[in-house]
């Protein structure tokens, strides 16, 4: 008996970052959009907790208890006074350390899969609470679609979307650490009063209407200067995508994956081909949004 859950990646169409809080986190106005690149998490009863991973980036995934999928299983087991004796297999298609919430997806997926396997029947509110303990982006991986994340990004308001958006994602040759990018943000803003972040009304309207051009005109990422400072050649990837017809080009989350909004599906294919041929990234993938959140298959 086993359970498989499919979980999407995300792109931040707005990542508004405020000042550092007393707990070291930053206040965010974070507009998440789930995109159709997925990890699949399969859980099977086992003698003891263990994690395995397959896929092109599998070698970079930690298989110990620092893995968010293992931590999710342990958190659920502890709440229900049971043993987390389960084999978690991650079939990984979301880039690792890429700014697309791949680790968060595995946490949300393992949580939902273990809940189904063990019949613990945790409420949606309990699942979301465990997700928020695991990491700022994990609740959104469970929910999917589109949402505004406030607080450290974990407090979600679901947003409406009026249509399909076509994206290209360029995977970089190496990863970036999220804490390092936030530290660089702090260094670049040293001595500056960072205003409180707020969601852009134009952006929320563009999402609600499914208006690609209006969305392209209003995307923003306050972490982009920090990601570019740590990884300057990402600017070349952004320029190649723009030259190939992207309506908007930005760093995805803390990077280093770069995201390109295409006018339509055919345009996305053309941009992806141009990016692959440019030599400025490891590979490029097309994906549509919004995508559903974690789903038991
Ligand atoms: O919540 P999560 O574990 O994903 O955060 C990873 C790191 O990113 C944090 O340790 C912190 O350095 C940084 N972060 C932040 N402010 C946020 C979210 C993350 O500074 N709102």
> Catalytic: which of 93, 106, 137, 222?
137
* pLDDT one-digit tens code per residue, 81-118: 999 999 999 999 999 989 999 999 999 999 999 999 99
What's residue 156's pLDDT? 97
* pLDDT one-digit tens code per residue, 200-256: 999 999 999 999 999 999 999 999 999 999 999 999 999 999 999 999 999 999 999
Under the banding of pLDDT at 50, 70 and 90, the label for residue 71 is: very high
Mean pLDDT of all residues belonging to the chain: 97
Which of the listed residues 72, 75, 182 should we mutate to test ligand 1's pocket, taking the one with most ligand atoms within 8 A of CB? 182
Helix (H) or strand (E) holding 230: helix 224-230
pTM here is 0.96
> Catalytic: which of 10, 92, 93, 106?
10
* pLDDT one-digit tens code per residue, 144-158: 999 999 999 999 999
Q: What are phi and psi of 143, to 5 degrees?
A: -85, -45
Q: Using a 6 Å CB cutoff, which residues line ligand 1?
A: 25-26, 28, 135-137, 152-153, 178-179, 182
92 is catalytic: no
Q: Which residue from 262, 252, 196 is spatially nearest to 220, judged by alpha carbons?
A: 252
Residue 136 Cα to ligand 1 middle (Å): 7
What's residue 97's pLDDT? 87
Percentage with pLDDT > 70 across the chain: 100
Average confidence (pLDDT) over 277-297: 98
- Is the pLDDT reported for residue 281 higher than 90? yes
Which of the listed residues 16, 152, 183, 222 should we mutate to test ligand 1's pocket, taking the one with most ligand atoms within 8 A of CB? 152
Question: ∠ CA(39), CA(43), CA(45), 5° rounding?
Answer: 170
Letter string b/e over residues 257-275, b meaning 16 or more CB atoms within 10 A of that residue's CB: bbbbbbbeeebbebbbebb
Helix (H) or strand (E) holding 242: helix 234-243
Q: Which residue from 177, 8, 6 is spatially nearest to 94, judged by alpha carbons?
A: 8
> What distance in Å separates the CA atoms of residue 141 and residue 171, rounded to the nearest whole number?
20
- Is the pLDDT reported for residue 186 higher than 90? yes
Under the banding of pLDDT at 50, 70 and 90, the label for residue 168 is: very high
Residue 153 Cα to ligand 1 middle (Å): 9
137 is catalytic: yes
Residue 85 Cα to ligand 1 middle (Å): 29
Residue 109, Ramachandran bin (φ over 0: left; ψ between -120 and 50: alpha; else beta): alpha
Which of the listed residues 177, 179, 187 should we mutate to test ligand 1's pocket, taking the one with most ligand atoms within 8 A of CB? 179
Q: Output the residue whose Cα is nearest ligand 1's atom 20.
A: 25
């Amino acid at each position: 008996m086993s359970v498989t859950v499919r979980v999407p990646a995300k792109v931040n169409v707005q990542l508004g970052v405020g000042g550092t809080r007393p707990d070291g986190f930053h206040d965010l106005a974070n507009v998440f959009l789930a995109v159709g690149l997925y990890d699949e998490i399969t859980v099977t009863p086992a003698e003891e907790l263990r994690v395995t991973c397959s896929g092109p980036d599998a070698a970079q995934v930690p298989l110990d208890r620092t893995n968010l999928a293992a931590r999710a299983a342990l958190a659920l087991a502890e709440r229900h006074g049971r043993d987390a004796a389960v084999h978690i297999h991650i079939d990984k298609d979301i880039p690792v350390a890429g700014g697309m919430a791949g680790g968060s997806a595995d946490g949300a997926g393992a949580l939902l899969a273990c809940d189904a396997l063990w019949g613990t029947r945790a409420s949606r509110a309990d699942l979301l609470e465990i997700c928020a303990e695991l990491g700022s982006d994990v609740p959104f991986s469970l929910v999917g679609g589109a949402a505004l994340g406030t607080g450290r990004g974990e407090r979600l308001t679901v947003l409406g979307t009026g249509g399909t958006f076509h994206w290209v994602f360029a995977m970089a040759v190496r990863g970036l650490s999220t804490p390092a990018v936030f530290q660089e943000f702090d260094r670049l803003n040293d001595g500056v009063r960072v205003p409180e972040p707020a969601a852009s009304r134009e952006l929320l309207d563009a999402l609600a209407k499914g208006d690609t051009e209006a969305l392209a005109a209003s995307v923003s990422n306050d972490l982009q200067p920090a990601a570019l400072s740590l990884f300057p050649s990402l600017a070349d990837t952004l320029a190649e995508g723009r030259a190939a017809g992207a309506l908007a080009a930005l760093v995805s989350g803390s990077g280093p994956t770069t995201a390109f909004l295409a006018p339509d599906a055919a345009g996305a294919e053309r941009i992806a081909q141009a990016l692959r041929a440019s030599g400025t990234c490891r590979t490029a993938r097309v994906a549509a949004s919004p995508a559903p959140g974690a789903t038991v298959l």
